[in-house]
Amino acid sequence: MPPTFRTLRPLHFAVVLWVSGCGGGGGSESVVDSAKNLAQLCTAGSLYAVDAVEPTRVGTYRDEQNWINAYLTERYLWYRDMPRNVSPSDAAYNLISPDGSFFYYGSSISAYFGALLNPNTRPSGKKVDAFSFLTPTFYWNRFVNSQEIGYGFNVSQASGAGVGNIYISYVYPGSNGQRTGFLRGDQIVRIDGIAATDSNTQNLAAFYDALNPSANETHTFELNRNGNPMTLTATSGVETLKQVESQILNFGGRKVGYLLFNSHVPNALPDLAAATNAFKQNNIDDMVLDLRYNGGGYLSVASGIAYAIAGAAATSGKVFDNLIYNDKRTRDNYAFPFISAPDTGVEMPSLGMRRVTVLASRNTCSASEALANGLRGVGVDVQLIGEATCGKPYGYSAQDNCGVTYAAMEFIGNNALGVSVSPDGLAPTCDVSDDLNHPLGDSHESMLSVALYMQQGQSCSQAKVSSALASAGLHGLATPQAGKLIRPDWKNNQFRDGGARPRGN
């Protein structure tokens, strides 16, 4: 009797198993079939195949492995660097429970995919391919529809802090987290009585599982809010996340359009159009684009907001992002345009800004970097306030097979001047930490405050002093600083979609 499938938590948790190293077993087994011929031949009894985007056929686990090999060999940007000694029959990619009753499909398929990726590192020690991933198609579809299972807030490890300094960095408007009463800057001290500093491995795993829950889980959070303890109980659910917030700030006699944008997903477009139209109607003098938590997404969305900022005259006939594929796919190279109408019924305005200030962090990635880089390519003065971005000039077209979405990096992008984002990220014009003592959009929040003073003509150092003086006494000087968001790395995305309509430029 064959082993059954072990029910897993979402597959993207298994993805991290391969990030630390590549390699494979002895011997090589070549695949001659194309990925097209092998597509949707699925392991019998697969729990994921029901979510496949195309009709499936009953196959074997080896068929799925062969599809992965063929897919990478055909489409992968670094196909020449794929290890050649990876045997699909190796036990590391065929994980069975000790008693032989369970087949650990998620961990097995993740390990095999990871073993085939480019194992090389850069001189800095960073992996060349730190970005390719796979995740269940079910979760992928939620992501592109701006949905997630959780409470509707982001959490981060405080920058420079030790283990256990976990803070809420953003609460989505209208979410259950907001209704429950969570606030930006709340420190999570305990969940269900388990301390964030607990040294017991099992307890700590339960703590982080509660931060990444399945639906309909209820957990009790003990918080530290500005030195005051409090307790909130929250139940997880499917949250549809509002990705855009905006306002017009009057600062130093100038109108500044502030746009907070958290993910390049299609359902953000109506809000982006509404916000930028309001900026146009109010004849703003300057603009601040807050991308500090934006991990990326659709290039068409990034192109649409870039068009709105730069305007029709600056972008007419210009390239937003040149997509360069591997040497077997030169016919796929594509000059991605600036798009005034990135989705049906959504027309972006033409602001014609010659300068934009971008608030960025290590969590600003991929399509967000392409946005800043694309604007620089057409002469927009992009001032970057915050931290160096994540450094991902690569992208892909998502590929579903048997209910698992694969995203091997397929292209590198560069702007109209032929410049790519550095793998070390976009360097900040002014290095400023993301403080958690102020709401986003508050003119006293460190990154925004410095940006506003620099727009007044102050230097970086002068603006930091002005910002510190303006906020001193409001919340004191002890300011927790947000660091790396605690979220799956696969949410840092840049991908090409087929729905871009380059009209109206």
20 vs 58: which has the higher pLDDT: 58
Per-residue confidence band for 101, with pLDDT thresholds at 50, 70 and 90: confident
Mean pLDDT of 37-49: 95
**What's the pLDDT score for residue 487?**
60
**pTM of the predicted model, to two decimals?**
0.89
Amino acid at 238: V
Query: Residue type for 95, please?
Result: L
Read off the pLDDT band of 502 (50, 70, 90). very low
pLDDT of res. 100: 87
Question: pLDDT tens-digit profile of 331-360?
Answer: 999 999 999 999 888 999 999 999 999 999
Residue 176: what pLDDT? 96
11 burial level (CB within 10 Å; 0-12, 13-18, 19+) = buried
CA distance 19 to 24: 14
The helix/strand/coil state of 125 is coil
Q: What is the pLDDT of residues 202-212, one digit of tens each?
A: 999 999 999 99
Please report the pLDDT score of residue 296 as a whole number: 93
The pLDDT of residue 345 is 87
Q: How many CB atoms lie within 10 A of CB 155?
A: 21
Quick one: pLDDT at residue 483? 60
Amino acid letter for position 102: F
For residue 42, pLDDT over 90 is answered with: yes
481 and 436 in contact (C-beta within 8 Å)?
yes
CA distance 354 to 12: 40
Average pLDDT of the chain, as a whole number: 88
Nearest to 244 by CA among 260, 229, 265: 260
Residue 9 has pLDDT above 60, yes or no: no
Tokens 């990326």, located at residue: 296
User: 125 or 498: whose pLDDT is higher?
Assistant: 125
Domains of the chain are: 4-130 (no CATH), 147-240 (2.30.42.10), 244-396+411-473 (3.90.226.10)
Percent of the chain with pLDDT over 70: 86
Give all strands (DSSP E) within 105-217, no chain letters.
133-136, 147-150, 153-157, 166-171, 187-191, 194-195
Exposure pattern of 122-146 as b/e (b: 16+ CB <10 Å)?
eeeeebbbbbbbbbbbebbebbbeb
Cα distance between residue 314 and residue 178, in whole Å: 40
Long-range CB contact pairs, 31-39, < 8 A, 24+? 31/66, 31/69, 31/70, 31/73, 33/66, 33/70, 34/70, 34/74, 35/67, 35/70, 35/71, 35/74, 35/75, 38/63, 38/66, 38/67, 38/70, 39/67, 39/401
Residue-wise pLDDT for 171-202, tens only, equals: 999 999 999 999 999 999 999 999 999 989 99
> What SS3 class is residue 55?
coil
What pLDDT score was predicted for residue 489? 55
**Does position 36 have pLDDT exceeding 70, yes or no?**
yes
Alpha helices (runs of H) in 337-429, residue ranges in sequence order: 367-377
The number of beta carbons lying within 10 Å of the beta carbon of residue 74 is 16
- DSSP output for 431-487: E---BSSS-TT-TTSHHHHHHHHHHTT--HHHHHHHHHHHHTTTS-S---B--SB-S
> What is the DSSP pairing of strand 355-360 with strand 381-386?
parallel
Comparing CA positions, the residue from 359, 10, 361 lying closest to residue 156 is: 361
What does the CA dihedral 304, 261, 413, 390 come to, rounded to 10 degrees? 170
Q: What is the pLDDT of residues 449-500, one digit of tens each?
A: 999 999 999 999 999 999 999 986 444 334 555 566 666 555 555 555 543 3
Alpha carbon distance 403, 405 (integer Å): 7
Least confident of 16-30, 260-274, 335-349, 379-393: 16-30
Across the range 228-237, mean pLDDT stands at 97
The pLDDT of residue 374:
98
pLDDT of residue 29: 41
Looking up tokens 């939620």 gives 142
**CB-neighbour burial class of residue 426 (10 A; exposed 0-12, middle 13-18, buried 19+):** buried
Q: How confident is the model at residue 124 (pLDDT cuts 50, 70, 90)?
A: confident
Place 16 in a pLDDT band, splitting at 50, 70 and 90.
Answer: very low
Separation of alpha carbons 153 and 177, rounded Å:
6
3-state class (DSSP) for residue 425: coil
DSSP 8-state code for residue 118: -
Q: Which amino acid is it at 390?
A: C
> What's the start-to-end Cα distance of the chain, in Å?
62
Contacts of 457 (CB under 8 A, 6+ apart): none
CA distance 225 to 223: 6
Amino acid residing at 313: A
* 192 alpha-carbon distance from chain centroid: 29
| Coil, helix or strand at residue 430 | strand
